[in-house]
Amino acid sequence: MNALNPQTFQINQILNIKQVVQVTGLSRATIYAILDPKSKYHDATFPKQITLTSNRVGWIAQEINEWIQIKIAQRVC
C-alpha cells in the first residue's frame, strides 16, 4: 500500500512537518537528523525541504512518496 496515493494528495501538494511525520512514521527529530549532513542518520536521498516563509518549511508530497517507494524497493525479503 502506498503511503500517499493519488486520491490522498494532489501532485504538487506541500506537506508540513506534522504530515511528513505521519506519512513516514519517523519522528520530527529523526527527520531533521536525516536532513543534517553532520548527523550519523543523514540520508542524502531524503527529499529536501522548501522554504515557504521565513518561519515555515514544507516538503513536496510526491517527493516524500517517491522516497518511501525507494525504501520499500530496497528492503531485503
Per-residue pLDDT of 42-54, as tens digits, reads 999 999 999 999 9
Total domain count, the chain: 1
Q: In sequence order, what are the residues at sequence separation of 6 or more whose Cβ sits closer than 8 angstroms to the Cβ of residue 61? A: 4, 9, 10, 11, 12, 13, 14, 15
Identify the band that residue 62 occupies on the pLDDT scale cut at 50, 70 and 90: very high
Evaluate whether residue 1 is within a structural domain: no
Evaluate whether residue 24 is within a structural domain: yes
Q: In sequence order, what are the residues at sequence separation of 6 or more whose Cβ sits closer than 8 angstroms to the Cβ of residue 48? A: 35
pLDDT of the residue at 53: 96
Mean pLDDT of 47-65: 96
pLDDT of the residue at 22: 97
pLDDT of the residue at 76: 79
Mean pLDDT of 2-9: 56
Evaluate whether residue 54 is within a structural domain: yes
* Domain residue limits at 55: 14-74
Evaluate whether residue 3 is within a structural domain: no
pLDDT at residue 37 is higher than 90: yes
